[in-house]
Structure 1
Amino acid sequence: MAKSTFYSNGKLLITGEYVVLDGAKSLALPTKFGQNLSIEEVDSNHLIYWTSYDHDGSIWFEETIPFSSIIENKVQEGSQNIKSTLIEILHEAYKLNSNFITHSKGYKVSTELTFPKFWGLGTSSTLINNIAQWLSIDAYVLLKNSFGGSGYDLACAQNNSAIIYQLVEDQPQVETIAFHPEFSSKIYFVYLNKKQSSKEAIALYLEKQGSVGNSIEVINQITHTVANTQEINEFAKAIQEHEIEMSNLLELPTVQETLFPDFNGIVKSLGAWGGDFVMVISKENPSDYFKQLGYSIVVPYEEMIL
């Protein structure tokens, strides 16, 4: 049988983390890294043989999933989390287009990340977008029915340029923009050595949430500045204002206050605060500073962003 392959881009949310859920305009950038999905129909007695590969070719997940588990959304007691999440996604996909189950005898499926799984560049969002491409269903509906979230990561998965993303009456509005700051050589992404659960971070935010109306206007203005300026000082100042605004809203200290108070430059959280990558604006290459503190993964802008 012929193989079908699909690919989706990873993502970084530069402005609007958390408040994107409440309709703030956010700047998001697709990454050069992403995930492949390949599907092969086989006569396997109504089973899916699923294998997930990390960027280095090592297998991080391998399971056999019966069609019946997908139809009934049936997870074995005490089964590992990854399998139950996958069955839930496939069950929601089945509800949107049942043909892949009703018209098939089985599949051999493999996924392959081009970034280390722990980087948090969108292992779930790239998978959901790839499954949606495979089954010709709406990725946003699939996300909403399974994982939840704002959907900006799906917009990055589907677009090869920077986007301004906004939820208007709960519907995604995606505007692709040209974003090539002249000072991109001064921007770096540093991995904080721990993966943050977006699901948990979102739940925490929704719990804390007071009135975000004023913050949304502030963040919208900052997003506009960050997306359009060619002045590094204006960019840095806007990024700093964003951190202060979110720090007040979340009632959490900024990552720079917490971890890098003596750093000569600007450090900004990306996505869920407290994990994954931070964005760094620095006149000099900051690798030595971060490596001394135990943060060995420092990726220049040009190597990270599509």
Structure 2
Amino acid sequence: MKQTFYSNGKLLLTGEYVVLDGALALALPTKFGQYLTVEPISSKQIQWKSFDQDGSIWFDDTFTFNEITHKTFSSENSVRNTLLEILHEAYQMKPDFLLNKNGFNIETNLTFQKNWGLGTSSTLINNIGDWLEIDAFELLNKSFGGSGYDIACAQNNAPIIYQLIDNKPFYRKVDFSPNFRDHLFFVYLNKKQSSKSAIANYINKQNEVGKTIEQINKITKSLLSNNDLRTFVYEIEKHENLLSDVLEISTIKEAFFDDFKGVVKSLGAWGGDFVLVVSKNNPTGYFKERGFETLLCYDEMILK
């Protein structure tokens, strides 16, 4: 019997990096996500194909049950090895899914370009969690790592606030649909940023994180309690400057868009993926002139 699962992508509006240390983060599930389809087959293996948004195959391989149970890395393909790691940890959590006589034909289909950084891994892990009826947060922690806010976005169809308390995820839906959202845009920086390396860099840089968390929490709460553009701009610029100091790197605007008459804020891992742009007028022309062709307005991107 064929089964299909779907998970939402994600963007992190506040709390990038410091969400790992317990900061209160405002996260936005996206209208883009990933499907996972599972069909049983007779052989004891998993035949896997992953499709990009345009229908092209970006990963195609087969895993024997023995490779999964023993976590046998048979190649240097990093995508294959990452997927094998996830499947092995899923097996550890639910061994009986590989104890029957049937294997599986699995297909994944992204509704966004895989380089966009909207959660290719998190949507996959959440879909596998749904399929096998295991805790996707635990599966993430055992395989890929991270705060888990992206798993919470995968499971919710509205903005959420998210926080790790004693290393356990707590989140709830919030009313965040700013009346100035016509001035909010998302621009892709033409570069996929590695979450793992970005997190490692943050861990090496951080100090006095408690003070930073307190300030980020105030910003997150302010964005939820105020619905005017001036306050929004003030708070996200403050957020950028705080993280710039912690990471000891320039803000995205300082580095690439210093002549832009508006605000640019990093989302998630700094230096790649999408940024938030606040602009009085539609900024498409400015960014296209500089080679950034992908720009989406708030309502095109965010579930609400």
User: TM-score, normalized by length of structure 2?
Assistant: 0.99
Segment of structure 1 superposing worse, 225-234 or 160-169: 225-234
Letter in 2 for 1:74: T
Cα displacement (A) at 1:79 = 2.6
Distance 1:225 1:292 in 2: 34
Distance 2:125 2:84 in 1: 12
RMSD: 0.7
The match for 1:278 is 275
Distance 1:225 1:57 in 2: 42
The match for 2:108 is 111
Residues 36-56 of structure 1: CA distance to partner in whole angstroms, max 9, x if unpaired?
000000102x11110000011
The match for 2:142 is 145
Letter in 2 for 1:156: C
2:225 corresponds to which of 228, 233, 236: 228
Letter in 2 for 1:199: K
Distance 1:104 1:297 in 2: 46
2:89 corresponds to which of 88, 92, 99: 92
Residues 179-216 of structure 1: CA distance to partner in whole angstroms, max 9, x if unpaired?
11000110000000000000110011111121111110
Cα displacement (A) at 1:225 = 1.2
Distance 2:212 2:28 in 1: 22
Contact 1:35 1:123 survives alignment (8 Å): yes
Distance 2:292 2:54 in 1: 20
The match for 2:73 is 75
Cα displacement (A) at 1:84 = 0.6
Letter in 2 for 1:292: E
The match for 1:194 is 191
The match for 2:210 is 213
Distance 1:266 1:75 in 2: 45
Cα displacement (A) at 1:303 = 0.3
In structure 2, the CA distance between the partners of 1:233 and 1:72, relative to structure 1 (3 Å rule), is same
Unpaired segments ≥5 residues, structure 2: none
Cα displacement (A) at 1:256 = 0.5
Q: Equivalences for 1:1-306 in 2 at 5 Å?
A: 2-44=1-43, 46-76=44-74, 78-306=75-303
Contact 1:205 1:250 survives alignment (8 Å): yes
Letter in 1 for 2:231: E
Distance 2:254 2:223 in 1: 22
Letter in 1 for 2:66: S
Distance 1:212 1:301 in 2: 31
Cα displacement (A) at 1:227 = 2.4
Residues 96-147 of structure 1: CA distance to partner in whole angstroms, max 9, x if unpaired?
1112100242110000000001100000000000000000000011001000
User: TM-score, normalized by length of structure 1?
Assistant: 0.98
Cα displacement (A) at 1:226 = 1.6
Letter in 2 for 1:133: D
Name the SS for the 2:59 alignment partner. strand
Letter in 1 for 2:209: V
Letter in 2 for 1:15: T
Distance 2:204 2:228 in 1: 37
Q: Which runs of 4+ in 1 moved over 3 A?
A: none
Segment of structure 1 superposing worse, 102-111 or 6-15: 102-111
Letter in 2 for 1:69: E
Name the SS for the 2:192 alignment partner. coil
Letter in 2 for 1:280: V
Residues 135-161 of structure 1: CA distance to partner in whole angstroms, max 9, x if unpaired?
000001100100000000000000001
Cα displacement (A) at 1:175 = 1.4
Contact 1:70 1:91 survives alignment (8 Å): yes
Identity of aligned residues (%): 55
Residues 229-273 of structure 1: CA distance to partner in whole angstroms, max 9, x if unpaired?
210010011000000111111111100101000111100000000
